[in-house]
Amino acid sequence: MSKSSEFPQCVSDELVRARAKFPKPESIPDGWSRNQLMHYWSAAIEEEFLELREEVFKQHPRDSSLREELVQLAAMCQRAAESCGLVRR
């Protein structure tokens, strides 16, 4: 499998893992508007981005760590889009 086709599979695997571990974030009440959901998810995405940035600015970032953080960031973006009804699951 090429690296380019591997990445989407890693994101898909991360989504499965994250959905199993956190089916619905407890801090999201039922009935929130799309705007409220986007506020929640933008904070979650920012947290993942900051973890990526922290890895990027290390003296010698490891490829595996960079990849892991990018996969987690992509999975969080997918969950946000799904939660807000922008894409189908």
**Domains of the chain: which residue ranges?**
3-83
Residues in contact with 3: Cβ distance below 8 Å, sequence separation at least 6, in sequence order: none
pTM of the model: 0.85
pLDDT at 2: 60
pLDDT at 73: 97
Nearest to 74 by CA among 1, 2, 23, 18: 18
Task: Collapse the DSSP code of 2 into the 3-class scheme (helix H, G, I; strand E, B; otherwise coil) and give the result.
Answer: coil
As a whole number of angstroms, the distance between CA 49 and CA 7 comes to 17
pLDDT at 1: 54
List, for residues 33-46, the tens digit of each pLDDT value.
989 999 999 999 99
Low-confidence ranges of the chain (pLDDT < 50): none
Helical axes 3-21 vs 63-83, angle rounded to 10°: 60
